Amino acid sequence: EVQLVESGGGLVKPGGSLRLSCAASGFTFSNAWMSWVRQAPGKGPEWVGRIKSKTDGGTTDYAAPVKGRFTMSRDDSKNTVYLQMNSLKTEDTAVYYCTAVSGFRFQHWGQGTLVTVSS
């Protein structure tokens, strides 16, 4: 069974930083492309970023609102993907979901971790 478990969310002040982690199991993580998708309260989902598998180059892409502030990385030895979030803004407040990407769709989702950016 595929499991994605996010951690690291919490309350942070504007301008602060936070690192989210996502531990994966139940599939061959090293072959997987992974993404983060966020959802602000009462809003629809918003894609944040994607990291390809190392065999596919390990490159990353980001949505325009987070480009230059957020960085995705992966540790295949730990079956874990990370999201480093810097220069956080109030509009980054959302539930952040870790997803496994398959064929350009979000095949599997974690339960999410809440990030609140507030003074």
Residues that bind another protein (CB under 8 A): 35, 37, 44-47, 50, 61, 63-64, 97, 103-112
* Beta carbon nearer to another protein, 74 or 108: 108
Nearest approach, Cβ of residue 112 and another protein (Å): 6
Nearest approach, Cβ of residue 53 and another protein (Å): 16
Nearest approach, Cβ of residue 115 and another protein (Å): 15
* Beta carbon nearer to another protein, 44 or 77: 44
* Beta carbon nearer to another protein, 23 or 63: 63
Q: What is the DSSP string of the chain?
A: --EEEEE--EEE-TT--EEEEEEEESS-GGG-EEEEEEE-TTS-EEEEEEE--GGGT--EEE-TTTTTTEEEEEETTTTEEEEEE-S--GGG-EEEEEEEEETTEEEEE---EEEEE--
